[in-house]
Structure formats: structure tokens, C-alpha cells
Structure 1
Amino acid sequence: MTVEPALRDPLPDVERVTIWGAGWTGVCAANLLRRFGKQVTLTDTREPDVLQAALARLAPTALADGVAIHHGEHDLCGAQAIVMTQSVRPSDHVVAKAQAARLPVIPEVELANRALEGVTVLSIGGTDGKTTTTKLVGHLVGAQRHALIGGNSWLPLSGAAPSLVEGAPEGPHAPVLVSEISAFQLPPWHGFRPQIAAVTNVAEDHVQEFFQGSLQAYIAAKRALTDRLERGDTAVLNVDDPIVRGWEPALVARGVRVVRTSLTSRAVGDHPWAVFRNNGELRTRWEGREERVVHQDAIPLLGDHNIENTLTALGAVMPLGLDVAQLREALTTFEPPHHRLERVATWRGVGVYDDSKATNTHAAMVGLSAFGSRSLIVIVGGVDKGLDLDAWVESLRSRARRVVVIGGLRERLLAQYGERLPQAQPAESLDEAVAMALSEARPDEVVVLSPACSSFDMFASYADRGRQFQGCVARYIAAQGGGDATDR
């Protein structure tokens, strides 16, 4: 039987729609709605000339004809429905205004979800590892099915949905939309329902900035990805994470199939759907039938946290019935995303790594653990999120021979933890930090950028920070005559 994917009107009873936020996500949502003849208004707080310049930079994604733009504070603009992008928070006053007017407020990812017919939506959420896992899932599925990655770090879902459907070949299998979903994309009232939802882990992050200091609110935002799953859907849960593990009973009670993932066979028990590691081998269990997939040493990813990501990815694709031999081959050819324990160079016996995506203490600690007992010089720092630093500082104290601190965290880290981190030194710039680290590094040591912080005090993004770090390393090595440097 041939599957016929299609786009359908996501708001069939609505003619006038206002979208809050005229960035890439808002433009994609507007273009999707214009396909169905909606009257669309984009609102944006930027000045007209600034916004026009920003829209020009979105090429080749061009704003569809007929979209009105409202400059100034977000407003309702006579709409019958509102689409919110992740630039708007559920606590913003305009959300309450729309709800008081009894207008539906629909997150952009839900809009895209509503527009899809004959498509499998597979979503990945969690605190750390989302992007690596999402890219790996896309790689695994794409080797055997028609698939496209969207959401969060990728093409917005409302832009990915039309591309996926229009590029789908005829065949017996539904195309797969692999989507990375952040906590900011699913407000408590959302209606986003994937057929498969996988959660990597939950650790404290963004709690002070965006969740009013409530860890429980942050956890609820992470759990939201699984909140609309129903009988016949699949949830993939990392049961090594105590928070994620605790969601299983409620899901099972709703008839959701739960796939357990773990670094140990003991943790998954005799559960009929599981992916786990046993004596270094990654194994699957489906309807009670076990099968070996691959040995962990064949996977081009560093550290146990990336084995966890791989287990989650395998759990997410198992419901699709993919061929295991082809999964095995695809795992060995995967190229991980940049700035995630990315090897930058080996210089005079010193390994240099970029882990700029480690934007919280949990991600930084698991990244450092990937180097085992090797001696480390760690460059840390950035925006101080107000997180509890005790466990991270202890990890640095025990693992690092030297710590170089940049950015907004310097003052707090050195003042509050200076006695516990006697090896910590401040640097005024990333160039200075790299020079300090490489000049002191010994053969067989590792120099790693592992910030444990957001980047916005000194850089445009974590990716910008990573690129600049790699540039600093290249310049320093060149200035020293190159030596025996090799890149990657």
C-alpha cells in the first residue's frame, strides 16, 4: 500500500492569524499559513529598518506576499488565532491578553504538527544531548526512509513540513519528520503530539532566567513533549535519569508504549522494549526479542553521555521497523555536530577540543568525564546563570590541572570558589585564555573549551564561541611555528 503524505489546513475554521515574532520561525509559520489563504500579520518589536535587514538575512527563506507586519509591542491585531514563536514566553502579558479574549494561542511546532498528514513525527527533547541525538536519528532514518530534520537548532518545523511532504517519494513508508524540541517551544496548554517522543535527560538549566527559579516548572516544560502521547504512541525514556524514569507509570497508564534506555542491562530489567549496553555492546529488545546492534568502540562519539545519546536514538527509531544491519552501518559513518567535544587539533602531543555547546554544568561535567584519567586544562566561563556550582567545581578540582576563567562567571567563581580551585586563573579574552592554556599544556594533556555557561556576554552564540575558539587555537599554533600540529 502506498502512503500519501499531504499538507492540510492547520486552522480550517480561522481566516485571520497573528504571529508573534518575525524571525525565521515566524516567517516559516507565515508562509505555511499563506499556502491556505490566511490573512497573516507578523508582529515584531524591532524597528522597521532593523527588521527589514534581519528578514533579508533569512534568504533563501523569503517572506510570502501578502503578509502584514505590525511594528511595536506584540498585540492581537484583530486575529481569530495567535501563533507564538519561542521568542514569546507563556508568562508574557500579551499571552494573558489573548487568553482573556478567548483566542487560541498555538505554538509554532503545533501549527506544523497540525498541518501534516501521512507523516510520522519523531521528536527529541531533554536538557543535554538533544542536537546530537536529533542529528543521529536523522542519519539513521535517512539511510532507509525519506526523512528531514527540523525544530529548535534546525529549520523551523513549519518550514520543514512542506519541504518533507513535497520531496517525499511514492512508497509504502510514511516520511519521517525528525524534530528537536526545546522547553521554550511547548507552553503548558500546547497540543503538540508526535507519534514517537524521546527524552535524553533532565538537569537544571535556564531555571533562573526563564522559569522564575522554579525547577519544577522547568521539569514540567521538559515533560511536556510526552504530555499529549496517547495509546499506540511511543515514549523513549532514559531510565538512568531519575526524573525521566519517574514519568513511566503515567505514560503506561495511558496506553503509551515505553522504550527504556540505559547504560546497563540491569536498569532496563526484563522490560519488553529496551535499548541498553551490555559488555560494551549496544543491544535492542523489541517485543522481548534481543538483538546485537554494534560495539560502542565502532561509534565515532566520545564519552558515555554520547553512548546514552546513541541508545536514545536507537530507541527512537525502533518503532519504525528499520533494518538492524543498515543501522549498524549508519552508526559507524555518523559525523557528530560541531562544538560538542569536537577535536580541533593535536599540537605537540596536546589534544585540543571544542565543547562550546556545554552551556550548563551538567553538560560540562559529562563532557569532561569522557577524557577519563587524562590531565586537563579547562577553559570555562560565560554568562552566570545562577546555577549551583558545587558539583561542577568539585569535578574541575578533581579532573583539571589548570582552569582558565573568562566572561561574566569570573568574579563569582574566583570569589566564591577560589580556595577550592587554587588552579583557577582569570583571562580577559578568549585569545588570552587559549594562549595561557596551550603555553602551559604538557604532552598527553587535553586543553578543552568547556564553558558550563551561556555565551551571550562575549559572543553571538555557543557556535560563534566555538568558531572563535578554533580560530584562536589556529592562530596560536601558527604563531608558535606550527610544530607537529594536525587538525581534527
Structure 2
Amino acid sequence: MVKNNKNIVVLGAGESGVGAALLSQHKGYGVFVSDFGKIKENFKAELIENNINYEEEQHTESTILNADLIVKSPGIADTVSIVKKALSLKIPVISEIEFAGRFTKAKTICITGSNGKTTTAFLTHHILSNANVNVGLAGNIGKSFARQVIKDEKDVYVLELSSFQLDGMYDFKADIAILLNITPDHLDRYEYDMQKYVDSKFRICQHLTKADWFIYNADDPIIMAEVAKRNIVANKAPFSIKTTENVAGYINNNNQLIINLKPELIMSIHDLALKGKHNAQNSLAAGIASKVLEIRNETVRESLQDFKNVEHRLEFVGKVNGIEFINDSKATNVNSTWYALESMENPVVWIVGGIDKGNDYDSLIPLVKEKVKAIICLGEENDKILEAFTGVVDTIVEAKSAYQAVTYGYELAKADQTVLLSPACASFDLFESYEDRGRQFKKAVRSL
């Protein structure tokens, strides 16, 4: 625990950083916020209103390296110069989640994975809310954990955790840890060493006790290989859509979702609000977590049936002259896009592109052959996409704005076909963020 009046420096002034600064101030610590970029006006106003010292577009080393503790925003890599200097001086550098976790005794359900964690977090929160559990939702989504812990009125927090957040967590532990899948992503932050990325994801299991639960995907070969190597003492609850053996939840041959924690829950997968194989896995994970907390079967079943998916994740935007438009802007890697294409039932005009994160598109080729009739590249540099899919799809065009991409989509698609924005890339070449990309897409669809 940090002693009163110690110097805390917060690096990064987004939602995570400002939340950590507010919590620091609330606990009576000296706090200084430093952002190497420009601070957004709403966050700057909050810092000023609360008399919190800050700087932007610079890092003043003499102030930062005088810290007793540094709370680092997840977007800042450990390789950044100021972080390396702090670590060399033995100044602890932790994540906002680690910091906030020191000030709550609430139960935590911690969810990570390369894909599906946002949906699973929202779905778990939805079930618990419907069961009248006093529950908060934080981590990689919504209001920061630190901001919520200031009042700390919740009994349970559902936390979506990225590998970057997990990297800065040392003493923190989950009560229920959920690991959905592991596929190559963000490898530029892990020296292109897949094992380092895997180890990062498995930090979700750190400090688990025999009283805790580890819920994980038994269909994921990387996860299963790691579980076999590690001594995880928590109660294990694997789930599968491929086998019914030795798992806590599964899909059987009759298309029923079954969770065999007593009392056993059985429901048809056709009743699930979320469609597609990957969403069956997300539903199993959220359902098992809810059953661990002894939520009634009726509430779990009803919640899995009436859930509305999150913005920018396979979000239905509308139909125009029989053409369906779907916003999956949050799909910033190949695996997320694979899941999106896998769940499509109609022929697809696919909008793809942006900043490539070292993508290998080979895994998409069978699905693209089967489902995609045209491709619209939405990015500054489309060479890799053109190289991967020329000859696989007859029609490939390039667009430089969401409006142009939607217009092409409307021209290329026919009634009972789908225009799918699922970029498989980051957004920062043409847009501020994946949210900005998704909102511009939706605005363009509504202007048709």
C-alpha cells in the first residue's frame, strides 16, 4: 500500500490515467499527470476542476523520476524511454487496475482473450444486473476501475483486461478468471515472441487460490498446452463447443447449450441473442461465471436470450433496400474478422483495411472464398490486402472514407446480402479510433 503524501505520477491522461489521478487525490496522495500527447479537452477540464497538476506534449523527467510510484496507462509500452529510466531506478510502474485493486474488497470477474472479451464482459454484467447483483463494469471499457473505486459501492466488478493491463499487474488477483482464446495479436509489443504474449494472457491466473475459479476455452490448443504446463490450483471450469467430455459447459449434438454446474442449465442455442460459434463460447463463459456466483438458471437463460450486443461489435446498423449493413469496427485483428465472417449467413461485401499490425490473411482465405463476393479496402496502404485476395475475389475496390466505402457497398451488394465493416486492422490512418470509424460508417449508412 502507498503511504500518505507519497508522490504518485500518472503517465497518460485518458480515462484510465485520469481515473487513477482522481483516486490518488481522493486517498490523500500527491499526484502529477504527464501525457506526451495532447490531452483531450474533457479530461483536461476534469484535472483543472480537481486542482490536479498536469503537463501535456512532454514528459518532465526530473518530476516523473522523483515519483515513489508510477501508474502507467496501458497504451504506453515498457520500451518508452521514460518508463525504462523509471524501472532502472527501481521506481514501481504499475497499471491502473493494479492501483485501483488496492482500494476495494469487492469480488472481481476478470476476462481476457485475444477476441470476445468486450462482448463477454458486457454479457456477464448484463446477467448479474438482471439478477440484481450490485455490479460494476470496468477495465478496458467504460469508466475506469480507479474512478469507480473512489466511491467503491459495488459488490462485484466485471473487468475486461487487455494483455497491456495485465502486464502491469503484480499483486492483483481475480476471484473468477476467464480466458477466452489466444491468437497472435499485438506481437510488436512482445518482441514478436508469441510465448511472451501467451505469458501475458496467463497473468489472469496469478495468485488464484483453491477458493477461486478459472474458466477457459478447452477448444483452444494454446490454452490447453499452457494449462497442462502450469500449476493452477483454482477450481477449473473449461468450456467447449467441440466436446462434451470433462468440461463444465458445452454445446451438444442437439444444438443445446448445457452448463453442468448444479442445478444444470439447458437451453437451445437458437434462443441465444448472440449468433455464431464464437458467441456460443462467449455465452458459455458468461453463463459459467454467473452459475459460479449462484445466479438462478431462469435469470441466466433470460439474460442470454435478451442481450443486445455492444456498439461496434457485429452491430446491426440497418437495412436499405434489402441490403443489411453491419458495423464490426472493433475487429482490429484477423482473428476477430474471422469470427465475424464465420457468423455471416448471407453473401458479404466486406470492408477491410487500416493500419496493418503484422497481419497474415491466409487463415481468412477459405471463408472469403465461401462467403465474400466483393472487397472494399478502407485504408491508406492496401497492398497486403490486394496481394492476399486478388484472384480469390473478383471485385476489389479502394475507398478513402467511410462514406465512399458505404457508397461502394450499396452499389456492389444486392437485396438479401450484407455489407460488413470488419477491418482486421487498427484505425489510426483515416480515423481517430475504431469508435470513430464505426460511427462514421453508421452515419454514412443512415445517409443512403
**1:180 Cα deviation from its structure 2 partner:** 0.6
Q: Following the alignment from structure 2 to structure 1, what is the Cα–Cα distance between the partners of residues 387 and 341?
A: 23
Native 8 Å contact 2:205 2:232 kept in 1: no
Match of 2:116 among 122, 129, 148: 129
1:64 and 1:86, CA in 2 relative to 1: closer, same or farther beyond 3 A? farther
**Matched length:** 443
Alignment of 1:101-180 (within 5 A): 101-117=89-105, 119-144=106-131, 145-163=133-151, 165-166=152-153, 168=154, 175-180=155-160
Native 8 Å contact 2:97 2:169 kept in 1: no
Aligned to 1:319: 292
CA RMSD of aligned residues (A): 2.2
1:260 and 2:235 are equivalent in the alignment: no
**1:133 Cα deviation from its structure 2 partner:** 0.6
Aligned to 1:303: 276
Alignment of 1:36-115 (within 5 A): 36-46=27-37, 50-51=38-39, 54=40, 56-58=41-43, 65-71=50-56, 72-73=58-59, 75=61, 76-115=64-103
**SS of the counterpart of 2:260?**
strand
**1:429 Cα deviation from its structure 2 partner:** 2.8
Q: Following the alignment from structure 1 to structure 2, what is the Cα–Cα distance between the partners of residues 186 and 196?
A: 15
Native 8 Å contact 1:384 1:408 kept in 2: no
> CA offsets per residue over residues 398-431 of structure 1, 9 Å max, x none?
3211111121342222245423333322233332
**1:192 Cα deviation from its structure 2 partner:** 2.3
Q: Relative to structure 2, which stretch is displaced further, 420-429 or 78-87? A: 420-429
**SS of the counterpart of 2:150?**
helix
Native 8 Å contact 2:176 2:289 kept in 1: yes
1:447 and 1:319, CA in 2 relative to 1: closer, same or farther beyond 3 A? same
Partner amino acid, structure 1, of 2:69: A
Native 8 Å contact 1:380 1:405 kept in 2: yes
Aligned to 1:347: 320
Q: Following the alignment from structure 1 to structure 2, what is the Cα–Cα distance between the partners of residues 394 and 456?
A: 28
1:311 and 1:59, CA in 2 relative to 1: closer, same or farther beyond 3 A? farther
**1:90 Cα deviation from its structure 2 partner:** 2.0
> CA offsets per residue over residues 46-86 of structure 1, 9 Å max, x none?
4xxx43xx2x4138955674533245226434222222121
1:231 and 1:91, CA in 2 relative to 1: closer, same or farther beyond 3 A? farther
Segments of structure 2 that go 5 or more residues without pairing to the other structure are: none
Native 8 Å contact 1:385 1:453 kept in 2: yes
Q: Following the alignment from structure 1 to structure 2, what is the Cα–Cα distance between the partners of residues 85 and 78?
A: 18
Aligned to 1:480: none
Q: Following the alignment from structure 1 to structure 2, what is the Cα–Cα distance between the partners of residues 292 and 231?
A: 24
Aligned to 1:459: 431
Match of 2:334 among 354, 358, 361: 361
Segments of structure 1 that go 5 or more residues without pairing to the other structure are: 1-9, 169-174, 477-488
**1:189 Cα deviation from its structure 2 partner:** 6.4
Q: Work out the percentage of aligned pairs sharing the same amino acid.
A: 29
**1:250 Cα deviation from its structure 2 partner:** 4.9
Output the TM-score relative to the length of structure 1. Answer: 0.85
Native 8 Å contact 1:31 1:64 kept in 2: no
Aligned to 2:361: 389
**SS of the counterpart of 1:141?**
helix
Native 8 Å contact 1:14 1:81 kept in 2: no
**1:176 Cα deviation from its structure 2 partner:** 0.4
Match of 1:285 among 232, 255, 260: 260
Aligned to 1:231: 210
> CA offsets per residue over residues 466-488 of structure 1, 9 Å max, x none?
11111212222xxxxxxxxxxxx
**1:249 Cα deviation from its structure 2 partner:** 3.3
Aligned to 2:190: 211
> CA offsets per residue over residues 365-409 of structure 1, 9 Å max, x none?
11111124x222111111122211112234223321111112134
1:300 and 1:212, CA in 2 relative to 1: closer, same or farther beyond 3 A? same
Q: Following the alignment from structure 1 to structure 2, what is the Cα–Cα distance between the partners of residues 313 and 245?
A: 19
Q: Following the alignment from structure 1 to structure 2, what is the Cα–Cα distance between the partners of residues 248 and 63?
A: 47
Q: Relative to structure 2, which stretch is displaced further, 409-418 or 361-370? A: 409-418
1:270 and 2:258 are equivalent in the alignment: no
Aligned to 1:483: none
